């Protein structure tokens, strides 16, 4: 990964032709003040932003796929239509950022400040994957390829981050079947916690459910909205 200077970055941005897309793939961008800078229509895939201030910066139409921003301040930054797939914004100040039309699949938002963030119907993978209200069905893959069908009740707490997986605080086990539907089972064991057993016809509940939706690998009953997604896990 090549480190570039603030002078180099600003010179390249200032000198580009209208509509030209600049590439800064796999670059180290450290200790810079880029407040209000026009960084639109640029490719920062796999780059690392460290100790850099990005308040009000314009990333519209840019790619920051798999880029690292952990701890950066980017209040009011514009990520409209940006590709933010699997980028890490852990601990970032993202208050009042614009993510309209952006793709956040797999983006890490743990401990980020998201007050006043602006999204719209075209923003991908920012809203809950599962229904926000009411009862619905979910699916869970367990040990030895046993597929558990769950009823998540209306009073269950539920969350999802930026991936297809969801979590809930409680669910009733409706069926436990083999992937090819040829076998039925009475029990299935969690792939993560070998002491957590799902029993057909019984309720499973996690008392210490973590309600922070942006923490994905944490307490709760992990499930998927479709059988196909659960099988692929």
The pLDDT tens digits of the residues spanning 51-70 come to: 999 999 999 999 999 999 99
Task: Give CA torsion, residues 218, 93, 35, 127, to 10 deg.
Answer: 70
pLDDT of residue 19: 87
pLDDT of residue 18: 87
More confident residue, 195 or 27: 27
For the chain, which residues make up each domain, given as ranges? 1-127, 136-232
Alpha helices in the chain (DSSP H): 6-15, 227-232
pLDDT greater than 90 at residue 229: yes
pLDDT of residue 90: 97
pLDDT of residue 233: 87
Report in angstroms the alpha-carbon separations of 185 from 151, 174, 224.
Answer: 17, 11, 20
Residue 228 CB-half CA count within 13 A: 0
Closest CA to 23 of 5, 6, 39, 7: 39
pLDDT of residue 195: 83
Q: What kind of fold does domain 1-127 have according to CATH?
A: Pectate Lyase C-like (2.160.20)
The pLDDT tens digits of the residues spanning 170-223 come to: 999 999 999 999 999 999 999 988 889 999 999 999 999 999 999 988 999 999
More confident residue, 216 or 36: 36
pLDDT of residue 151: 98
pLDDT greater than 90 at residue 102: yes
Q: Are strands 158-160 and 166-168 parallel, antiparallel or unpaired?
A: antiparallel
pLDDT of residue 194: 80
Mean pLDDT of 20-47: 96
pLDDT of residue 218: 93
User: What is the model's pTM?
Assistant: 0.92
Query: pLDDT confidence of 168, banded at 50, 70, 90?
Result: very high
> Which two tokens mark 136?
């619905």
pLDDT greater than 90 at residue 167: yes
Q: Are strands 170-178 and 146-152 parallel, antiparallel or unpaired?
A: antiparallel
DSSP assignments along 32-93, one per residue:
-B-TT-B-TTEE-TT-EEES-B-TT-B-TT-B-TT-B-TT-B-TT-B-TT-B-TT-B-TT-B
pLDDT greater than 90 at residue 94: yes
């Amino acid at each position: 990964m090549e480190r570039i200077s603030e002078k180099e970055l600003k010179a390249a941005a200032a000198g580009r032709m209208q509509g030209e897309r600049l590439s800064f793939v796999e670059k180290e961008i450290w200790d810079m003040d880029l407040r209000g800078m026009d960084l639109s229509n640029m490719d920062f895939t796999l780059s690392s932003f460290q100790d850099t201030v990005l308040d009000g910066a314009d990333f519209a139409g840019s790619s920051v796929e798999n880029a690292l921003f952990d701890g950066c301040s980017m209040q009011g930054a514009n990520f409209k239509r940006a590709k933010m797939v699997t980028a890490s914004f852990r601990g970032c100040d993202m208050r009042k950022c614009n993510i309209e039309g952006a793709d956040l699949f797999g983006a890490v938002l743990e401990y980020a400040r998201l007050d006043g963030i602006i999204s719209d119907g075209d923003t991908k993978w920012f809203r809950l994957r599962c229904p926000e209200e009411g009862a619905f069905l979910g699916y869970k893959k367990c040990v030895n390829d046993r597929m558990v069908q769950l009823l998540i009740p209306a009073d269950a707490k539920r969350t999802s981050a930026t991936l297809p997986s969801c979590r809930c605080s409680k669910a009733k086990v409706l069926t436990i079947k083999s992937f090819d539907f040829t076998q039925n089972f009475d029990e299935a064991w969690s792939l993560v916690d070998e002491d957590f057993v799902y029993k057909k016809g019984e309720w499973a509940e996690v008392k210490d459910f973590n309600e922070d939706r942006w923490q994905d690998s944490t307490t709760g009953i992990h499930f998927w909205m479709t059988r196909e997604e659960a099988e692929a896990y």
